[in-house]
Structure 1
Amino acid sequence: MQSSIAIRKDPAVDYLLRIGDTALILGQRLAEWTGHAPVLEEDIALANMALDLIGQARAVLTHAGAVEGEGHDEDQLAFLREERDYRNVTLVELPRGDFAVTVLRNAMMATFLRLLWEQLRESTDAELAAIAGKAVKEARYHQQHAADWVVRLGQGTDESLQRLRAALDQLWRYAAELFADDAVDEHAGATGLGPRWGDLSDAWDAEMAALLGEAGLDVPAATPFLSTGKRGVHSEHMGFILAEMQHLQRSFPGGVW
């Protein structure tokens, strides 16, 4: 059995891991729809979006390994860390849920990632800026695709609206973590590596409010709850994702994508 790797503590590395891990785990969740989506076209669309996200994760994790300087490649960073060393937001590790949960989470995350990638195109880190230049195009498609489905469900049948409302009640409270700034964000903002995630809050709020309004839903009231996945303190669901993701690499050391 392959042992775990240790990650050097560094705010720039943490910032990159937050991006790469969030894309990786969201891609893993979307991949669970392969063969199970409600229609064939959507099966293909969700699989392609999962591949886009995993591609973004590969690029960012490869760069994170280079910045860390400890010789860790994309596969080691993706598959050989302990749960506490993953920096994805909790929202993406929540169970797949039904189709309403999936498209609403996609809309929330794609809107955020599009805003983030747009800002990262101006990063002082040339490699990260280049990754962002490609990724932003994918995020725009993901956002439009998810938004179309949110509106269709909201304006569809009583059941589709009910399911969408239930998904909103389940997911919305996890959005606050996206914009909870800390020392990692402050370092990124000060060095020009990337924006403080909290600086994206106003634009995200406006776009999501417009989308929910078109779907016939109200923006839920804020709550004091704050999830902590990007600090390495995850939900009970994260361990199950990693057990599935890491099995082959742990069992057959040296395997690559």
Structure 2
Amino acid sequence: MSAMTTQEATRQYAIRLGDDALILGHRLSEWCSNAPFLEEDLALTNVALDFIGRARMFYSYAAELSGDGRSEDSFAYQRDCREFTNLLMHELPRGDFAFTMARQYLIDEYSLAFMEQMLSSTDPTLAAIAAKAVKESRYHLRRSRDWVLRLGDGTEESHQRMQTAINELWGYNAELFEMDTLEADLAGQGIAVDTTALRQPWSAAVQATLAEATLAVPETDWSVRGGRQGLHTESLGHLLSELQFIQRAYPGLEW
């Protein structure tokens, strides 16, 4: 790798994956005390904690590779919006319950396949993180898929809300499978996941679920990208203003 060392590229890769997990975990945490019923309130909170725990593992590894005294908190609380590299789908406002579960299903279908492939990473730390995350991902996918089926093939209103959510999210799917030079180089070394290889099986699984849920597959006539380059929607700035407030107000504060 000519432009940077493998260690530096792996550090940046770990930060990207940590950003994805942290931002989605925060979005899910917004349902705490707001879910449709108590059981789902607890379930969504637990899924949020799974993603935040995943973020901690990726950030801790990035801090180890940095070797400059930074910690997992440094990456979560001490970077500005343009420094975050999460995929755009993760940062979109939570919307209604149908939107949250539609997004969660699309990401869960991707995440399980991603983590299954990362189990074979030549980087032992990334492989170990995947070994823990893949178990969670199987559970996440079962419940989000179930909600897509229940709402899609439910009442007229639930069907319409789920179809609207799928339509609004569809253009964000393409970014899941795009790889820049950094990821392509790491994938060539067996470190990173080749996400381009995940697209066909993901599409087949999603289309089968949507058909079972009596939902239409939207036309692929628009797409949005830029998250990996730090180009975000305005929603991320609002999210970070809440997430980072205490550390911004009281730098270095520890409980």
For the criterion TM > 0.5, the same-fold answer is: yes
Match of 1:95 in 2: 93
Aligned position for 2:4: none
Offset at residue 228 of structure 1 (A): 1.0
* Cα distance in 2 between the residues matched to 1:188 and 1:255: 36
Q: In the alignment, what sits opposite 2:25? A: 27
For the pair 1:63 / 2:61, whether they are aligned, the reply is yes
**Counterpart residue number, 1:246:** 244
- Structure 2 counterpart of 1:5: none
- Asked whether 1:185 is paired with 2:199, we answer no
How many matched pairs? 249
Matches of 2:16 and 2:212, distance apart in 1: 31
Q: Which ranges in structure 2 are unaligned for 5 or more consecutive residues?
A: 1-6
- How many Å apart are 1:180 and its aligned residue? 1.3
Query: CA separation in 2, counterparts of 1:69 and 1:200?
Result: 33
Query: What's the CA shift for 1:120?
Result: 0.8
Q: Could you tell me whether the CA contact under 8 Å between 1:185 and 1:197 is conserved in 2?
A: no
Tell me, yes or no, if structure 1 residue 150 matches structure 2 residue 157: no
For residues 180 and 12 of structure 2, the distance between their equivalents in structure 1, rounded to whole angstroms, comes to: 11
Q: Is residue 118–residue 136 contact of structure 1 (8 Å, CA) maintained in 2?
A: yes
2-side partners of 1:79 and 1:61: how far apart?
11
| Structure 1 residues 146 and 75: alpha-carbon distance in aligned structure 2, compared to 1, 3 A threshold | same
1:128-181 superposed Cα distances (whole Å, 9 cap, x missing partner)? 111110110001101110000000001110000000011011111101111112
- CA-to-aligned-CA distance 1:52-111 (integer Å, 9 cap, x gap): 000000001110122233322100111101111111100010000000000011101111
Gaps of 5+ in 1: 1-8
Q: What is the identity, as a one-letter code, of the residue corresponding to 1:172?
A: W
State the distance in 2 between where 1:70 and 1:204 align: 39
Q: Which residue of 1 aligns with 2:112?
A: 114
Q: 2:128 aligns with which of 130, 141, 148?
A: 130
Is residue 14–residue 87 contact of structure 1 (8 Å, CA) maintained in 2?
no
The residue matched to 2:173 in structure 1 has which SS? helix
1:196 to partner: Cα distance? 2.2
Cα pair 2:89 2:172 within 8 Å, conserved? yes
Tell me the TM-score normalized by structure 1.
Answer: 0.93
Q: Quote the residue 1:4 is aligned against.
A: none
- Higher alpha-carbon deviation: 65-74 or 110-119: 65-74
- TM-score of the pair, normalised by structure 2: 0.94
Indicate conservation of the 8 Å contact 2:172/2:224, yes or no: yes
Q: CA RMSD in A?
A: 1.4
> 1:198: which partner in 2?
196
